[in-house]
Chain A
Amino acid sequence: MKLVSLPVAYMPLVDAAPLIVAQELGFAEAEGLSLDLVAAPSWSSVRDMLAFGRVDAAHLLSPIPVAMALGLGGVSAKVHAVSVLSVNGNVIGVSRALETRLREMGHPFDFDDAAAAGAALAAVAGDGLTIGVPFPFSMHVELLEVWASATPLADVEIDIRTVPPPLMAQALADGEIDAFAVGEPWGSVAVEKDVGALLIPGTAIWAFAPEKVLATRAEWADTEPHLLGRLMRSVYRAGRWLAREDSRTTAAELLSRRQWLDVPSELIDRALSGHLTISPSGDVREIENFLEFHNGAASFPWRSQAKWIARQICSRTNMDFAATTERAGAVFRSDLFRAAMGETEADLPGASEKVEGSITHQTAVASAAGRVVLERNVFLDGRIFDPSEK
């Protein structure tokens, strides 16, 4: 069978794994595709490559398509998020100086209590904090907002600044930023370089946060529905493979290759296993659901996730959320996901929206085969977001 070559842009991060695995382990080939994976130097490049048609699909921060639908951030092309590539996977870290001050005041770096960590950080923040994030429209920013609003950090002057992830450790070392929120492996890189310590994982703020999406141009999705379905299925199967315990070592080795992430496989394994080394002195913490590619219907693009992101962005930019809710929610194409997965063994949830923050423990939900179990998705302060409320 002749393979159709499909250009796809990505950022070299652990959570680009479903795309890399789909290509390298033959999931794409099984669908008659050959993914031409184009590494991008920045998120704005990924977005532009997609918008201008240099690539047909992309690994994208989940808030970017939502922001684009709201008319924010320059480029105005119409983009769909057809599936969620990864859930969670971010860490918040601080400089060595802040780490020292936190330890002096007795903060245990237990890595699971975002409320306590927020209070402790607020106590040592002095006249303010500058926090680095990869991009203005990112789950990193949203998690920081939630964290700050629910803890004494609300009273601290916080300056959120964009720093490209590969430069995060250096910016911390140079004192340009005091803390950061970033995806792996860049938090671990800061720890390895002795310039920072990890304070909490993103999961401590929101237990099930859609991190990256598989995005396509709306126009391409309309003209190539079959190719889109093949792409979605191969990426879905790659995610399922990644979720298997016995895939981890192979996945870490594969991603560490120079061609892909070019960092030691041991660093990648930390994110895949959820065993993170959080400080240069070698403290290790284990985090449940640190990075999820499949379990808990991770790849399902819930419209409520898009609406939650939209409401966050709207409240920050003084836009009218009620007027934009439906438009923003429609960016996450649960309908296209259902259509593509219909021909597979995948069991899908019966609903396309859920109340975000309401699942306190693993819960089975209505689905065709009755096998869908959702994971905890609570926020640190117990808030809930009902997408049907205006």
Chain B
Amino acid sequence: MVSPLSIVVVEEDRDRAISIVDGLRSSGEYDVHLIGNVSGLARKIAGFQPDVVLIDIDNPTRDMLEELTLASGPLDRPVAMFVSGAAGALARTAVEAGVSAYVVDGLQPDRLKPVLDAAITRFQMMRQMRTELDETRRALEERKVIDRAKGLLMKAKGIGEDRAYATLRKAAMDQGRRVIDVAEALVTAAGLLK
């Protein structure tokens, strides 16, 4: 009986962290640790002596993990990014899904695969959710600005909402800009003139 793999997940967002840990636990018997606060990251990870470290590829603190690849003499590196091993294709998929994994050199790919599969699924889900959230948020922000610009135009020119929007759109088309850019410029200018 081999001992369960020890996995450290680096993730500051609590909900996302829980989702990843759940995903891992449901895919096998693992000893999962979570690091939420990234200060002293390398030191904390070294304390756990994990077999695998999972981290979001967009996390800038990922560079701190590179230190681990050099931890005790680079030629007998205790921790190396998995892509140096046999799991090359898997590594590529993981990187594309937005997860980077660091594993102890010599860990068998067949033991690593289920961990990565679970992580990849979760990271893909999270990434999609984050993109959707960002897009929704941006759309809302843009609509707010456009509404304010419309309001300014309606007041200044005594026109209705439809005319105000048409005016914005025409200005945008004439100048080869986006409606939101014209609206932003108008709101900023109005603020300055106050």
Per the 8 Å Cβ criterion, residues 61-107 of B in contact with A are 61-67, 69-70, 73-75, 80-81, 83-84, 91-92, 95-96, 100, 102
Which segment, of B52-60, B158-166, B168-176, faces chain A?
B52-60
CB proximity of B36 to chain A, nearest CB, Å: 16
A162 touches B75 (CB 8 A): no
Are B75 and A317 in contact (CB-based, < 8 A)?
Answer: yes
Segment touching B, from A73-81, A148-156, A240-248, A288-296: A73-81
Task: Name A's interface SS.
Answer: loop
Q: Does B47 contact A (CB under 8 A)?
A: no
Report Cα–Cα, A88/B5, bound state, in Å. Answer: 44
Alpha-carbon gap, A162 to B39, bound state (A)? 11
Q: Indicate whether A41 sits within 8 Å of B60 (C-beta atoms), given known contacts A73-B69, A162-B66, A176-B40.
A: yes
Interchain CB contact (< 8 A) of A318 among B60, B73, B91: B73
Q: Write the chain B residue with the least CB distance to A134.
A: B63
Cβ B70 vs Cβ A41 within 8 A: no
- B residues less than 8 Å from A163 (CB atoms): 64
The majority secondary structure among interface residues of chain B is: helix
Give the residues in chain B near A318, CB-CB below 8 Å.
73, 75
| Interface residue total, chain B, C-beta cutoff 8 A | 29
Q: Which residues of B contact A74 (CB under 8 A)?
A: 66, 69, 80-81, 83-84, 102
Contact A45 B81 (CB under 8 A): no
A167 at the interface (CB under 8 A from B): yes
Q: Tell me if A136 is interfacial: C-beta within 8 Å of chain B.
A: yes
Q: Are B39 and A44 in contact (CB under 8 A)?
A: no
In the complex, A136→B74 CA distance in Å?
A: 12
Q: Which residues on A sit within 8 Å (CB–CB) of B180?
A: none
Whether A161 contacts B67 by the Cβ 8 Å rule is yes
Interfacial chain B residues near A162, Cβ < 8 Å = 42, 63-64, 66-67
> Of A45, A52, A161, A319, which one neighbours B62 at CB under 8 angstroms?
A45
- B74 in contact with A42 (CB, 8 Å): no
Taking a contact as CB atoms under 8 Å apart, the answer to whether B60 and A42 are in contact is yes
**Chain A positions within 8 Å of B83 at CB level:** 48, 51, 74-76
Q: A381 to B90: give the CA distance in the assembly, Å.
A: 48
How many Å lie between the Cα of A163 and that of B40 in the bound state?
A: 9
The minimal Cβ–Cβ distance linking A160 to chain B, given in whole angstroms, is: 9
Q: Taking the complex as formed, is A274 at the interface, i.e. its CB lies under 8 A from any CB of chain B?
A: no
Asked whether, in the complex, the Cβ of B61 is within 8 Å of the Cβ of A73, the reply is no
Q: Bound complex: CA of A327 vs CA of B74, how far in Å?
A: 18
Tell me whether A7 is interfacial, beta carbon within 8 Å: no
A135, A162, A317 interface centre (most CB from chain B within 10 Å):
A162
Are B57 and A45 in touch, CB under 8 angstroms?
yes
Of all chain A residues, the one with the shortest Cβ separation from B57 is: A45
Binary B-proximity of A140-176 (CB < 8 A = 1, otherwise 0): 0000000000000000000001111011000100101
Contacts of A25 in B (CB 8 A): none
User: Which residues between 39 and 93 of chain A lie within 8 Å of chain B, taking CB atoms?
Assistant: 41-45, 48, 51-52, 54, 72-76
Are B74 and A317 in contact, CB atoms less than 8 angstroms apart?
A: yes
Q: Is the Cβ of B75 less than 8 Å from the Cβ of A166?
A: no
Q: Which residues of A contact B63 (CB under 8 A)?
A: 42-44, 134-135, 162, 164
Query: Complex: how many Å from CA A182 to CA B75?
Result: 27
CA distance A44 to B63 in the complex (A): 6
In angstroms, Cα B95 to Cα A135, docked, is 20
Q: How far, in whole Å, are A39 and B22 apart by their CA atoms in the complex?
A: 31
User: Can you name the residue of chain B whose Cβ is closest to the Cβ of A137?
Assistant: B66
B109 to chain A, nearest CB (A): 16
Q: Is the CB of A41 within 8 A of B67?
A: no
A172 to chain B, nearest CB (A): 12
A234 to B: closest C-beta gap in Å: 25
Q: A137–B74 Cα gap in the complex (Å)?
A: 12
Expressed in whole angstroms, the Cα–Cα distance for A48 and B62 within the complex equals 12
A168 to nearest B CB, angstroms?
Answer: 11
B residues lining the A interface (CB < 8 Å):
39-40, 42, 57-67, 69-70, 73-75, 80-81, 83-84, 91-92, 95-96, 100, 102
Offer 13 A-B interface pairs, CB within 8 angstroms, sorted by A: A42-B59, A73-B81, A74-B80, A75-B81, A76-B84, A161-B42, A161-B64, A162-B63, A162-B67, A167-B60, A176-B40, A317-B73, A319-B75
Pairs of residues from A and B, 5 with the lowest C-beta to C-beta distance, nearest first? A74-B81, A164-B60, A42-B63, A41-B60, A42-B62
10 further contact pairs, Cβ within 8 A, besides A45-B58, A135-B63: A41-B57, A41-B62, A43-B66, A48-B95, A74-B81, A162-B67, A167-B61, A176-B40, A317-B70, A318-B75
